[in-house]
Structure 1
């Protein structure tokens, strides 16, 4: 069941989203060759604690960290690690912030040092695909309109859209209905209504869209070793258009 949010509830989620966005801005200053994703994870947890927030995914189904840190061919759910980031890497940091019981979710892919033009283009196209999807998040449209817009753009640029991992509703729980696909057909799927709050979070691969899961049961990689990028915002459907609650 889709839980529609009141204006007051959306405002509470926006407070969580503002703190999350500020944390990402701070990360952008810190991510560099030689930094470990475990150091990044500890920074995030400390930052959230100072802002009266908690990391919602820590402990979720046994997940042990405050962030997901996905490097290069890791699509999502990567474990923070002691391995230093290298010049030319890309890394996606995904976090869900709980502020006084209300949640916001956002992932961002960062360039580490100086990356190749191919890496830069993958990151830029993925970011653009997110905003193209957000443009379709208006009252009266359907979820398929969002997925179709993302898929059409990404594939036209020569990239592939991950199928197995999706966006979702969010509120006081991390994962609510509906499921938000990043591919699909226009005019299909659930109709968007005022008060819906969802995540749009396309994961775009340089190679095939297919994924595999590591032995740890969490880390998701491209099957062909190709690079993957992701950008995610939490979005409220309003009478004035899509409201980005995690806007940087």
Structure 2
């Protein structure tokens, strides 16, 4: 249980770091870079990276993209709905956080798997 608590806390920290970066004009590539660096700083591995050849450290879905969008160079625009998912693994324990930003009002949910 303690491993789940630690990994969940770290995942929350990573998501909070990503949320802080969400702004008009920021690209999802930039958010991905921030998530990747935040994972490494916390001695975690971003779970999506290289999972079935997924090329990025987080998933970002804008507007009509339902889920598992790949971060890219498109800048966020006012009114975009952004679904950002941070998943990481530490000591074989995975944690995932989801943030939905619409007009930059945020809501989050959490789940664990081992």
Asked if TM exceeds 0.5, the reply is: yes
Local SS of the residue matching 1:34: coil
Query: 1: distance between equivalents of 2:112 and 2:69?
Result: 24
CA displacement at 1:235 relative to structure 2: 5.1
Given that 1:86 and 1:112 are in contact with CA atoms closer than 8 Å, whether structure 2 keeps it comes out as no
Give yes or no for the alignment of 1:15 onto 2:6: yes
Residues 94, 57 of structure 1: alpha-carbon distance in 2 compared, 3 angstrom cutoff: same
Q: When you count strand as a share of all residues, which structure comes out higher?
A: 2
Displaced runs of 4+ in structure 1, greater than 3 A? none
Query: 1: distance between equivalents of 2:112 and 2:10?
Result: 15
Give yes or no for the alignment of 1:110 onto 2:101: yes
Instruction: Give the equivalent residue in structure 1 for 2:33.
Output: 42
Given that 2:17 and 2:38 are in contact with CA atoms closer than 8 Å, whether structure 1 keeps it comes out as no
Residues 28, 95 of structure 1: alpha-carbon distance in 2 compared, 3 angstrom cutoff: closer
CA displacement at 1:112 relative to structure 2: 4.4
Given that 2:58 and 2:71 are in contact with CA atoms closer than 8 Å, whether structure 1 keeps it comes out as yes
Instruction: Give the equivalent residue in structure 2 for 1:80.
Output: 71
Instruction: Give the equivalent residue in structure 2 for 1:146.
Output: none
TM-score, normalised to structure 1, is 0.43
TM-score, normalised to structure 2, is 0.89
CA displacement at 1:74 relative to structure 2: 1.0
5+ long unaligned stretches in structure 1 = 1-9, 114-119, 128-230, 237-248
**Could you report, residue by residue, the CA deviation over 1:173-207 in whole angstroms, capped at 9, with x for unpaired residues?**
xxxxxxxxxxxxxxxxxxxxxxxxxxxxxxxxxxx
CA displacement at 1:28 relative to structure 2: 2.2
Local SS of the residue matching 2:61: strand
Query: 2: distance between equivalents of 1:28 and 1:55?
Result: 16
Instruction: Give the equivalent residue in structure 1 for 2:84.
Output: 93
- Give the CA RMSD over aligned residues: 1.9
Give yes or no for the alignment of 1:234 onto 2:101: no
Query: 2: distance between equivalents of 1:96 and 1:24?
Result: 9
Greater CA radius of gyration, 1 or 2? 1
- Paired residue total: 113
Instruction: Give the equivalent residue in structure 2 for 1:67.
Output: 58
5+ long unaligned stretches in structure 2 = none
**Could you report, residue by residue, the CA deviation over 1:64-119 in whole angstroms, capped at 9, with x for unpaired residues?**
11001000111101010101000111101112111122111121112345xxxxxx
Instruction: Give the equivalent residue in structure 1 for 2:19.
Output: 28
Local SS of the residue matching 1:64: coil
Which of structures 1 and 2 has the larger relative contact order (alpha carbons within 8 angstroms, sep 6+)?
A: 2
